[in-house]
Copies of this chain bind each other. A is one copy, B any other.
Amino acid sequence: MDHSTALLTDRYELTMLQGALTAGTAHRRAIFEVFARQLPNGRRYGVVAGTGRLLEALESFRFGGPELEFLTSQGIVDEPSAAWLESYRFSGNIWGYAEGDCYFPGSPILVVEGSFAEAVILETLSLSILNHDCAIASAASRMVRAAADRPIIEMGSRRTHEMAGVAAARAAYIAGFRSTSNLEAGRTYGVPTAGTSAHAFTLLHDSERHAFQAQLNALGPGTTLLVDTYDVPRAVAVAVELAGPELGAVRIDSGDLKEMAREVREQLDGLGAPKTRIIVTGDLDEYSIAALAASPVNGYGVGTSLVTGSGAPTASLVYKLVARAQTDDGPLRPVAKHSVGKPSKGGRKWAVRHRDDNGRAIAEVVSTSEPTSGPYDRPLLTPLVVNGEIVAREPLSEARDHHEQALAELPPSAFQLSRGEVAIPTKFVNGS
């Protein structure tokens, strides 16, 4: 992002800054923590995504002339606050769960340490990115598990905000999707892109035969032909007649996909095209993907349900002050509000995934002092920013790997699609 991200901020963060500067409390050391009180929708686990995007956005979080002009002309901040913002660079430390790792209720997936002033104004930027990307990755991971070894193409850009679509493609890729329809995600993040044609292409031409021939001429026989514009069996027959047994795939986007897949597979085999694959699309989610497990389907395209988090479009992550000093350099003391129904646990947190000797996860252990890890435990927080310097930049492929490894640790109950208990309990351990 070349633009300043500084105004992707809720106004109250800047009024709090001004209040604290006025009161002389702005420079107290503080720790903010990002966590989810619970997982949405009875999910068994959540998936961390967005961290890489957040670190990029943090680099562009600068209050330049245009931003300050807006803030002062609108009376949103006074001159001393504007002066402070002008020289703002986050100079603190950030630790986080690795992108692709799993999280559970109370997991401190991001820990931000700095002065109150410099940390409080990162709330909205952090939550926007993490709430969106974690919601998408969490839904995507379930779809990938449901699809087992069959690839899934992400194709939801048309159903969400134009920039959210790009981020969704990235998050889905972390969680194991094979590719995306979104070209900007291909350019910006290197996610492999896919896609061939829509019904419009068939309708443009004088007949389905003309349309198929046009597509084969342009893209070769390995392409995917969309066969449900008029009559599926007729379309499949024409497709194989024109492309031969080398036809890459046919796509079915409507109807009873289970029944259709069976019939089309039979027809393709009968026509001597046993290698031609069947791709199904059309309002799929993890449940309908699971229902197609026994059907002769070779790949899925998922749109709406992916970009809307399959019923949970936001991850319910919050950004809370958990500790602060009472003087600028005093010791950090835990703090927590007492609001009804919204419990928070005060104090700086550490976290390990407690595992047995088979490497199987048993509990998420969150402690308020540095933990003494068991021999198989896996520490979860890694340094992302040290003294204002970003120290963790990893290719997306590593996040994909993290995710596979993190899933491999989870007990089988994690992969039930039904609503239920989280896969492992979170144990809070009080430190000294």
Instruction: Report A's interface with B, CB cutoff 8 A.
Output: 2-3, 5, 7-16, 18-23, 25, 28, 30, 32, 57, 66-67, 70-71, 74, 76, 78, 116, 120, 123-125, 127-129, 131-132, 155, 157-167, 181-184, 186-187, 193-206, 210, 213-215, 217-219, 223, 228-231, 253-256, 304, 307-308, 313-314, 316, 319-321, 324, 326, 335-342
| A194: B residues at CB distance < 8 A | 11
The answer for the CA separation of A314 and B116 in the assembled complex, in Å, is: 37
User: Assuming the A-B contacts A128-B160, A157-B8, A183-B7, are A18 and B341 also in contact, with contact meaning beta carbons closer than 8 angstroms in the complex?
Assistant: no
Among A127, A164, A186, A217, max chain B CB count under 10 A is at: A164
User: Assuming the A-B contacts A161-B164, A337-B230, are A196 and B131 also in contact, with contact meaning beta carbons closer than 8 angstroms in the complex?
Assistant: no
B339 in contact with A255 (CB, 8 Å): yes
The answer for the CA separation of A368 and B131 in the assembled complex, in Å, is: 44
| A160: B residues at CB distance < 8 A | 128, 131-132, 161, 164, 313-314
| A256: B residues at CB distance < 8 A | 340
Q: Give 6 A-B contacts (CB < 8 Å), ordered by A residue.
A: A9-B183, A9-B184, A161-B164, A200-B321, A203-B336, A255-B340
Among A20, A123, A129, max chain B CB count under 10 A is at: A20
B131 in contact with A159 (CB, 8 Å): yes
Residue of B nearest to A230 (CB): B338
Residue of B nearest to A136 (CB): B161
Name the distance in Å between A6's Cβ and chain B's nearest Cβ: 8
The answer for the CA separation of A22 and B214 in the assembled complex, in Å, is: 7
| A198: B residues at CB distance < 8 A | 12-13, 16, 123
Name the distance in Å between A61's Cβ and chain B's nearest Cβ: 11
> Which of B28, B120, B201, B229 makes the CB contact (< 8 A) with A339?
B229
B16 in contact with A200 (CB, 8 Å): yes
Known: A11-B182, A11-B193. 19 other contacts (CB 8 A): A8-B184, A10-B195, A11-B186, A15-B195, A15-B218, A15-B223, A16-B196, A16-B201, A19-B217, A23-B210, A25-B204, A120-B200, A124-B181, A128-B160, A162-B163, A199-B339, A203-B336, A228-B340, A313-B313
B159 in contact with A19 (CB, 8 Å): no
Name the distance in Å between A392's Cβ and chain B's nearest Cβ: 20
The answer for the CA separation of A46 and B187 in the assembled complex, in Å, is: 34
B14 in contact with A128 (CB, 8 Å): no
Name the distance in Å between A324's Cβ and chain B's nearest Cβ: 5
User: Assuming the A-B contacts A314-B307, A338-B229, are A204 and B30 also in contact, with contact meaning beta carbons closer than 8 angstroms in the complex?
Assistant: yes
The answer for the CA separation of A261 and B105 in the assembled complex, in Å, is: 30
Name the distance in Å between A431's Cβ and chain B's nearest Cβ: 19
A337 in contact with B203 (CB, 8 Å): yes
A314 in contact with B321 (CB, 8 Å): no
| A23: B residues at CB distance < 8 A | 205, 210, 213-214, 217-218
The answer for the CA separation of A253 and B25 in the assembled complex, in Å, is: 24
| A20: B residues at CB distance < 8 A | 201, 204, 214
Residue of B nearest to A315 (CB): B159
Name the distance in Å between A26's Cβ and chain B's nearest Cβ: 9
| A167: B residues at CB distance < 8 A | 161
| A193: B residues at CB distance < 8 A | 11, 74, 76
B314 in contact with A22 (CB, 8 Å): no
